[in-house]
Amino acid sequence: MLEKIIKAAAITIALSGCVTIPKNPAHIKPQNISLEIETYYDYKKINFNINQTIREENKYFTRYNCNFEINDDLTEFYYYKAKSKKKTPIMIISPVLAGNYDISKIFAKFFAYQDISSVIMKRPKKLLSEYSAGKDIENTTLKYLQNTRRVIDWLEKQPNTDANKIGAFGISMGGINTAMLASIDNRIKCSVISIAGSDIPAILTTSKESSIACYREQRTKKKTLEEFQQELIENIKSDPKVLAKYIDTDNALLFIALFDQCVPTKQQFELYNSIGGPKTGILLTGHYTAILALPYVMLETSIFLNKHFK
């Protein structure tokens, strides 16, 4: 499997001109997370039951559809349990903003082929509806991060999980959530953040992604674009712009699309700077055409995880 990925990556690099930039050697270790931020993202430890149903099985993994409920709030996720005779590392996969989970499932299977288990968190419902003010986005994001951390609590107790080898992965909106998760939870030993950005108000104000553009149009019917952005700035606290400085460059792998209008490239480089210059793959693509660089992303991700999980 990896041999095929290497061959495909070589072709991708030759045709697309993907370039890997090493981490910034001058960057110093990040500061410890502040008590204020640690307290804000703290969550109540609650005993809850995980409902599991087997939905797919082959020689590499068993996929379970899982869910749990706390105070009538349902959290759902897919659990790809790698078939290995020893404890396996695990990746926490955050999904894209909208659509199906196909790209997340591609990576979950890719990880399983390397004896790495994974979880795909299902996205919060109606994150961006016409009624979603900045405070609603913040509350939904906060709850998503807290419930993702509860899933990590559960995974740590599973007999097949190597609790010292937990990583996180995300593309686009999933990358934004991955950056925040890696910032606030020190159990995340490494993170792969692809075509994601910093400064969520700026992204929501300028993105040409269809669901974001539709949301922005609805929210600016009775206010100016500047008022819309200011309302987001005043209410959205959960943002890589604030949190990414707590990520260690040694433990992060970034991918930036140079011609992205969905997560504007400017915001992607802002995330790069916020982290402090981690190792970064530069894709000569837009947002959706980044799929063409998938073999390259997979190869670089595999090399990165092998280094951290060896």
The pLDDT tens digits of the residues spanning 60-110 come to 999 999 999 988 889 999 999 999 989 999 999 999 998 899 999 999 999
The domain that holds 180 is classified in CATH as: 3.40.50.1820
Predicted pLDDT of residue 128: 84
Total domains present in the chain: 1
Predicted pLDDT of residue 31: 84
- CB-based burial label for 20 (10 Å; 0-12, 13-18, 19+): middle
Residues spanned by the domain of 239:
2-309
97 and 211 Cβ atoms separated by less than 8 Å: yes
Distance of CA 69 to the CA centre of its chain: 23
Nearest to 247, CA basis, from 273, 281, 282, 283: 273
274 and 198 Cβ atoms separated by less than 8 Å: yes
Burial profile 78-112: b = 16 or more Cβ within 10 angstroms, e = fewer: bbbbbebeebbbbbbbbbbbeeebebbbebbbbbb
Predicted pLDDT of residue 306: 96
Q: Which residue has the tokens 């078939």?
A: 83
Predicted pLDDT of residue 17: 66
Q: How far apart, in whole angstroms, are the C-alpha atoms of residue 280 and residue 73?
A: 37
Pairing type for strands 61-70 and 51-57 reads: antiparallel
Predicted pLDDT of residue 16: 55
Predicted pLDDT of residue 52: 95
Question: Which portions of the chain are predicted below pLDDT 50?
Answer: 2-3, 5-11, 13-15
Residue 218: CB atoms within 10 A of its CB come to 14
